[in-house]
Chains A and B, each alone.
Chain A
Amino acid sequence: MLKKGQTSAAYLFLAPFLITIGIFFFYAFARAIYYSLTDFNLFNTPKLIGIKPYVDVLSDPSFRRALSNSLVFAVITTTLQTIGALLMAVALNNKIRGMAFFRSAWYMPSITSSVVITLIFLWLFQRRGVANYAITQWQTYLPYTLTLLGVLIAAQVAQVLWERARGLPAGWFDPALAVISLLIALAVTATLSWTGVLSVRDVAPYDFQYFSDRWISIGGARLLSIPMLVIIIQNTFTTIPTLMLFFLAGLQNIPGALYEAADIDGATPMQKLMNVTVPMLRPVTFYVITVGLIGTMKMFDQVAVIGSAAPQDTLITLAYYVYINTFKAGAAPVNLAAAAAIVLAAIILVMVFLQRRFISSEAV
């Protein structure tokens, strides 16, 4: 193994890393544990007071809200982004023209700053935002869209039935017939519009407040707030591409022979996905879920950017709870913040442990 003198050289090269992790992780972590057992308020000389801060934190309703928000957010977001990333990776693993373009385009949301994306989402979902505007437009032009859709379906059905009556094998989604149906539908809608039968509806602007105290509750228990739902959508949107990259790399390692064998056995694309791709990607999936859970449990920036634009209860997460209890005006319950941070770390540790215990990281 190492010759004499080599150990010191190894330590020398490791030193920058060891010193950094020593100061910014081990020292900071030990200090946080210490503070969580004192009456520290950022300005006084800390005095040990035992586990009282933990008792206070656990009985604090806003901590409980933060805990439930964080868990709900972590579970939903991790599920959505893992499935989304897998499907997107499979789609982008095909050999079609312009794949490089699609891969870069799909990756864009990931390299944009999350603060910027949050601001964009805040703007999309404000009361007079794009989301409400789009819904208003949809309602205004509903007569047109419904007519178009109705005529399209009717024309398609009529055509298919006519083809079949002539003994020709036509599927319900036959593209050639669909084009003709669409043209007929467009013509009918345009004629009705010109003759004045169809006109836009006069609807009041759709006025849904996304960043307000609204909840999706199950059995009277508030589970997920609408502002949090917006963040889930946003976070899924921005994280999918990053995770997709891992799946894409994993897909390259699946031997093509497996798919060929599946083809010979007459497997459908769905069967190939479920029985070849998913099991072979298990190590990557394990990694993606772990990273996803840790990332979502620690989610902070989006909440901080939205800040007071939404009621605090609807968005507070554990990381945000730690933050607001550390930075107040003047003296702050830093001991509570430290205790909450330790609880958060413990929860993440337990989650990862359970996952390791029950989800195998080996490919089958």
Chain B
Amino acid sequence: MKKVLKKALFVSLAVLVAAAGSASAQTTIKINGYGGQDPAIVGDLINRFVKPALAKDKITVVYQPLQGDYNQQLTTLLAAGNAGDVFYVPGETLDGYVATGKLLALNGVVNTTPFIKSLNDAFTRNGKTYAISKDFNTLTLIYNKDIFDEAKVAYPNDNDTWTSFQNKLAAVKKALGNDYYGACLAPDYARMGQFAFAAGWQPFDSKGKTNLLDPAFVSAFNYFTGLSKDKVGVQPSEVSQDWSGGCLASGKVAVAIEGNWIVGFLKDNAPNLKYGTALIPKNDKTGKRGNFVFTVGWAINAGTKNKAAAAKVLNILTSPNVQQYVLEQGLAIPSRTSLQNNAYFKKATPGAENSKVVFQGASSGTVRPYYFGNKGPDWAKPISTALAAVLSGQKSSADALKQAQQEMDTLQNR
């Protein structure tokens, strides 16, 4: 019995040693990214593009998705020294990661010139670029054509102003009554801030402070929350949904303010919904519209043992072929300037139309990166809390904004 055990132990040890030996001949690049749909998408990219290109270099690439709260998990992995060689960095949380010293500055490692400048800027601090934008998104108006047809109201279009858009929503509500709503209004800075940009609000003044009592911000706040008057607009929770995409898919709501990520969701959850896309309406006074640029970048771990291999993988993942493939699959909007005139944007499918509008949104009016300043995600909380309080009728807009400003001051003075 003892002999058998010893033998088994010996064999398993030998196998382990052999496995370790064979692995050392290969360089393995580990990639960390989101869960959800991303493992399938990135896995596909790895198989199609990365593997063939790196076969002779003996580089294996594995994708390890981080489920749940991505930032939290990546932070833990970075602190423990277990993070991937290459990983996603969300544009809005870049500063926290730069402060860790764990992001490799890509200057001289990757050529950034082929990428859209504003996207490079989103990942650049003090002249150092820390990530290459993977893709990007902006906000658009996505509307349910059947609801507008039924209500005999013209579709939202690119020339709409705040007032004309609001009138259209009110007309829809009036025509269709209690069971239908004009728009879904998520109580979130990320769905309301673009109106403030349009009105001329700057998130940070020269000293880095935020003024929520600025007339421009107040006017946008009141416009957004005012859309809920007479139940023309509802919060997603009021129609048992957790985001505006769900509202639109339910067929009860005429308009959602979302980005290109809604396309895949609608394809899966409301395949028969006829929808169109328009740009975010312009402010009546300034005649401008505003928008956010949401972006996620590829970064390299400063602690990687295989810097050259990691840079190779990053270059392939941001190459023109890969971005063209991703665009044509309708998965994301490319960050390369050269793809701006791609034939895909001229297609007549609702998904391609949405991509085109998302793309246009990035260069129409006042466009700012989705960014919280050096205090991180806590910065947006006072604004979102105020939106929720006013949209649900708990507080007047003036009270809510006064409290939000107080909270903002304490946060920024900390």
Q: Which residues of A contact B (CB under 8 A)?
A: 41-44, 56, 60-61, 126-128, 207, 209, 212-214, 311-313, 327-332
In contact, B388 and A329 (Cβ under 8 angstroms): no
In contact, A214 and B71 (Cβ under 8 angstroms): no
From A42, A207, A313, contact of B100 by CB (8 A): A42
In contact, A43 and B388 (Cβ under 8 angstroms): no
In contact, A128 and B388 (Cβ under 8 angstroms): no
In contact, B100 and A331 (Cβ under 8 angstroms): yes
From A61, A212, A312, A330, contact of B392 by CB (8 A): A212
In contact, A311 and B96 (Cβ under 8 angstroms): no
In contact, A213 and B388 (Cβ under 8 angstroms): yes
Least distance between A132 CB and chain B CB atoms (Å) = 11
Residue in chain B with minimal CB distance to A214:
B394
Residue in chain B with minimal CB distance to A307:
B69
Chain A residues whose CB sits within 8 angstroms of the CB of B385 once the complex forms: 213, 311, 313
Residue in chain B with minimal CB distance to A211:
B237
In contact, A329 and B75 (Cβ under 8 angstroms): yes
Chain B residues whose CB sits within 8 angstroms of the CB of A209 once the complex forms: 237, 392, 394
Once A328-B376, A329-B75, A330-B97 are accepted as A-B contacts, the answer to whether A212 and B388 lie under 8 Å apart by CB is yes
Say yes or no for B121: interface residue by CB 8 A criterion: no
Once A60-B414, A329-B93, A331-B100 are accepted as A-B contacts, the answer to whether A42 and B392 lie under 8 Å apart by CB is no
CA distance A93 to B33 in the complex (A): 56
In contact, B240 and A128 (Cβ under 8 angstroms): yes
Say yes or no for B62: interface residue by CB 8 A criterion: no
Once A128-B240, A328-B376 are accepted as A-B contacts, the answer to whether A312 and B99 lie under 8 Å apart by CB is no
Q: Which of A56, A126, A327 has the most CB of B within 10 A?
A: A327
5 contacts between A and B (CB under 8 A): A43-B101, A328-B376, A329-B72, A330-B78, A331-B100
Chain B residues whose CB sits within 8 angstroms of the CB of A44 once the complex forms: 101
Say yes or no for B102: interface residue by CB 8 A criterion: yes
In contact, B101 and A329 (Cβ under 8 angstroms): no
Say yes or no for B389: interface residue by CB 8 A criterion: yes
Say yes or no for B111: interface residue by CB 8 A criterion: no
From A43, A212, A213, contact of B79 by CB (8 A): A43
Chain A residues whose CB sits within 8 angstroms of the CB of B101 once the complex forms: 43-44
14 further interface pairs, Cβ-Cβ under 8 Å (given A41-B99, A328-B75, A329-B72): A42-B100, A43-B101, A61-B407, A126-B237, A207-B238, A327-B75, A327-B76, A328-B71, A328-B96, A328-B376, A329-B71, A330-B97, A330-B98, A330-B102
Least distance between B96 CB and chain A CB atoms (Å) = 3
CA distance A212 to B395 in the complex (A): 11
Say yes or no for B209: interface residue by CB 8 A criterion: no
From B99, B381, B389, B392, contact of A43 by CB (8 A): B99
Least distance between A166 CB and chain B CB atoms (Å) = 58
Residue in chain A with minimal CB distance to B73:
A327
Q: Which of B79, B385, B395 has the most CB of A within 10 A?
A: B79
In contact, B72 and A327 (Cβ under 8 angstroms): yes
Residue in chain B with minimal CB distance to A311:
B385
In contact, A61 and B75 (Cβ under 8 angstroms): no
Residue in chain A with minimal CB distance to B239:
A128
CA distance A44 to B79 in the complex (A): 10
Least distance between A312 CB and chain B CB atoms (Å) = 6
In contact, B96 and A61 (Cβ under 8 angstroms): no
Residue in chain A with minimal CB distance to B93:
A329
In contact, B394 and A330 (Cβ under 8 angstroms): no
Binary per-residue interface labels of chain B (84-110) against chain A in the complex, 1 for a CB within 8 Å, 0 otherwise: 000000100101111111100000000
Say yes or no for B37: interface residue by CB 8 A criterion: no
Q: Which of B71, B90, B99 has the most CB of A within 10 A?
A: B99
Say yes or no for B377: interface residue by CB 8 A criterion: yes
In contact, B76 and A330 (Cβ under 8 angstroms): no
Say yes or no for B22: interface residue by CB 8 A criterion: no
Chain A residues whose CB sits within 8 angstroms of the CB of B414 once the complex forms: 56, 60
Least distance between A124 CB and chain B CB atoms (Å) = 14
CA distance A332 to B96 in the complex (A): 8
In contact, A213 and B394 (Cβ under 8 angstroms): yes
Sorted from nearest, which 6 A-B pairs have the closest CB atoms? A330-B96, A329-B71, A329-B93, A331-B99, A330-B97, A43-B100
Say yes or no for B410: interface residue by CB 8 A criterion: yes
Least distance between B108 CB and chain A CB atoms (Å) = 23
Residue in chain B with minimal CB distance to A205:
B238
Q: Which of B75, B238, B392 has the most CB of A within 10 A?
A: B75
In contact, A42 and B410 (Cβ under 8 angstroms): no
Least distance between B370 CB and chain A CB atoms (Å) = 13
Chain A residues whose CB sits within 8 angstroms of the CB of B99 once the complex forms: 41, 43, 330-331
Once A127-B237, A213-B389, A312-B381 are accepted as A-B contacts, the answer to whether A329 and B97 lie under 8 Å apart by CB is yes
Residue in chain A with minimal CB distance to B235:
A127
B278-316: which residues lie under 8 A (CB-CB) from chain A? none
Q: Which of A41, A44, A311, A329 has the most CB of B within 10 A?
A: A329
In contact, B75 and A332 (Cβ under 8 angstroms): yes
Binary per-residue interface labels of chain B (44-74) against chain A in the complex, 1 for a CB within 8 Å, 0 otherwise: 0000000000000000000000000101101
Once A214-B394, A312-B381 are accepted as A-B contacts, the answer to whether A330 and B388 lie under 8 Å apart by CB is no
CA distance A85 to B342 in the complex (A): 69
CA distance A209 to B388 in the complex (A): 11
Chain A residues whose CB sits within 8 angstroms of the CB of B377 once the complex forms: 329
Binary per-residue interface labels of chain B (375-400) against chain A in the complex, 1 for a CB within 8 Å, 0 otherwise: 01100010001001100101100000
Residue in chain B with minimal CB distance to A44:
B101
CA distance A20 to B97 in the complex (A): 34
Chain A residues whose CB sits within 8 angstroms of the CB of B96 once the complex forms: 328-332
Once A43-B101, A212-B389 are accepted as A-B contacts, the answer to whether A329 and B79 lie under 8 Å apart by CB is no
In contact, A43 and B76 (Cβ under 8 angstroms): no
In contact, A43 and B72 (Cβ under 8 angstroms): no
Residue in chain A with minimal CB distance to B74:
A329
Chain B residues whose CB sits within 8 angstroms of the CB of A331 once the complex forms: 96-97, 99-100
B307-340: which residues lie under 8 A (CB-CB) from chain A? none
CA distance A332 to B101 in the complex (A): 13
